[in-house]
Chain A
Amino acid sequence: MFSRLALRNVRRSFRDYGVYLLTLTFGVGLFYTFNSLDGQGALVYLTNVGNPIVEAITMLMDIFSVFVAVVLACLILYANRFLLRRRKRELGTYLLLGLSQGQVSRLLFLETGLIGLISLAAGLALGVAASFGMSALTLSMFEIDVSAMLAINFSPRAAGKTVIYFGVIFLLVMALSGVQVSKSRLIDLIHGERKNEVLKPRPLGVAVFQFVLGVACLAAAYAILLYFGMALAIAILPLCIVMLSLGTVGTLLIFRSLSGFVMKFVQGHPGLYFKNLNVFTLRQWISKVHTTYMAQTVVCILLLLAIGITASSLGLNSTLSAMTDQEAPFDITIQNRSADDSGAVDFTAVLENGGFDTGSLLSGEVDFCVYYNDTALTGVEDVSGILALSDLNTLLALQGKAPIALSPGEHKLLDAWGDGLVTGSLGIYTAVVEDAAARQLEVRRQYWSANYTGDSARTEEQILQLIRPLQLENQLRVESRLSIYADMVGNKILALFLGLYLGFTFLLAAAAVLALQQLSQAADNTGRYAILRRLGAEERQVKKSATQQVALAFLLPLALALVHSVVGMKAANDIIFTVGKVDSTTSSMITAGVILVVYGGYFLATSLACRRMAKNA
Chain B
Amino acid sequence: MPEILTVTDLKKVYGKGGSLTRALDGVSLSLEAGEFVGVMGPSGSGKTTLLNCVSTIDRPSAGSIVIDGRELTRLKGKELAKFRRERLGFIFQDCNLLDTLTTYENIALSLSIIRAPAQKIDRRVREMAEFLGITDCLNKYPYQMSGGQQQRCAAARAMVTHPALVLADEPTGALDSKSSQMLLDRLDALNRDLGTTILMVTHDAFTASCCRRVVFLRDGKLFLELHRGKDSRKAFFQKIIQVVTEMGGGMADVL
- A residues touching B (Cβ–Cβ < 8 Å)? 199, 201, 270-271, 273-280, 283-284, 286-287, 528, 531-532, 534-539, 541
Contacts and interface: CB of A to CB of B under 8 A. Distances in A.
Given A287-B100, A535-B85, A277 B141 contact: no
B122 A199 contact: no
Contacts of B110: 535-536
A532 to B, nearest CB: 8
Interface residues on B, range: 20 to 34
Contacts, number: 75
B119 A270 contact: yes
Given A284-B100, A535-B90, 20 more contacts: A199-B141, A199-B143, A201-B140, A271-B118, A274-B118, A278-B112, A279-B108, A280-B98, A280-B109, A283-B98, A528-B98, A528-B100, A531-B98, A534-B57, A534-B96, A535-B109, A536-B84, A536-B85, A537-B81, A537-B113
Contacts of A273: 118
B25 interface: no
A279 B118 contact: no
Contacts of B4: none
A604 B24 CA distance: 45
A273 B100 CA distance: 15
Given A270-B121, A536-B81, A279 B101 contact: yes
Nearest to B96: A531
A283 B100 contact: yes
A538 B78 contact: yes
A215 B108 CA distance: 33
B138 to A, nearest CB: 13
Contact of B112 (A279, A286, A534): A279
A225 to B, nearest CB: 38
Given A199-B143, A534-B90, A274 B81 contact: no
B99 interface: yes
A527 to B, nearest CB: 9
Given A274-B118, A274-B121, A537 B85 contact: yes
A126 to B, nearest CB: 39
B35 interface: no
Contacts of B141: 199, 201
Contacts of A280: 98, 100-101, 109
29 contacts: A199-B99, A199-B141, A201-B141, A201-B144, A270-B121, A274-B108, A274-B118, A275-B118, A277-B109, A277-B112, A278-B112, A279-B108, A279-B109, A280-B100, A280-B109, A283-B98, A283-B100, A287-B100, A531-B97, A531-B98, A534-B90, A535-B109, A535-B110, A535-B157, A536-B81, A536-B82, A538-B78, A539-B81, A541-B113
Contacts of B143: 199
Among A201, A531, A536, residue most surrounded by chain B Cβ atoms (within 10 Å)? A536
A535 B113 contact: yes
A532 B143 CA distance: 19
A274 B121 CA distance: 8
